[in-house]
Amino acid sequence: MNWLEMTDKEIMDIASPIMDNLMDASTNIDHQQHVRDFSDKLKSIVTKENLEKQCKEYQKELGFFSTRELVGIFKKETDVRVFWKQWYTKSKNEFVAFIHLVESNGRVEVVNVSVS
């Protein structure tokens, strides 16, 4: 898969459902669902205990994920990075949501993701 040859819409048709799943899984504190699209390396980093701790902390302070607005897509032949403005239900502040995707053995995998 050459990400440079793809349209922004084609990329978003892949990235948005993956990010939606991550947000839903984070809200539900569902580790299995959350790591569904992760690379093996990322799966080894995001443990069930780690995810639960992070989710409880941000949910207490910020609430749940709400609106997300696309900021930009950065393409390379081998991978793509997508950035959004992200809001939470208990905060008026703007945050950055980010996902880094690669294709490996015919499967799109998340190699990095964050909201900060």
Q: How far apart are alpha carbons 113 and 42 in whole angstroms?
A: 9
**Superfamily of domain covering 3-115:** NTF2-like; domain 1 (3.10.450.100)
In the chain, the percentage of residues whose pLDDT exceeds 90 is 98
Q: What's CA 75's distance to the chain center, in Å? A: 16
- Per-residue pLDDT reduced to its tens digit, 21-55: 999 999 999 999 999 999 999 999 999 999 999 99
Q: What is the pLDDT of residues 49-84, one digit of tens each?
A: 999 999 999 999 999 999 999 999 999 999 999 999
pLDDT at residue 94, rounded to an integer: 98
Name every residue whose Cβ is closer than 8 Å to that of residue 15 and which is 6 or more positions away in sequence.
80, 82, 99, 101
Cα atoms in the Cβ-side hemisphere of radius 13 Å centred on 107:
9
Q: Do 52 and 33 form a contact (C-beta atoms < 8 A)?
A: no
d(CA 102, CA 80): 7
Q: What is the pLDDT, as a whole number, of residue 114? A: 97
Structure pTM? 0.95
| Phi, psi angle pair for 53, to nearest 5° | -65, -50
pLDDT for 5-27, tens place per residue?
999 999 999 999 999 999 999 99
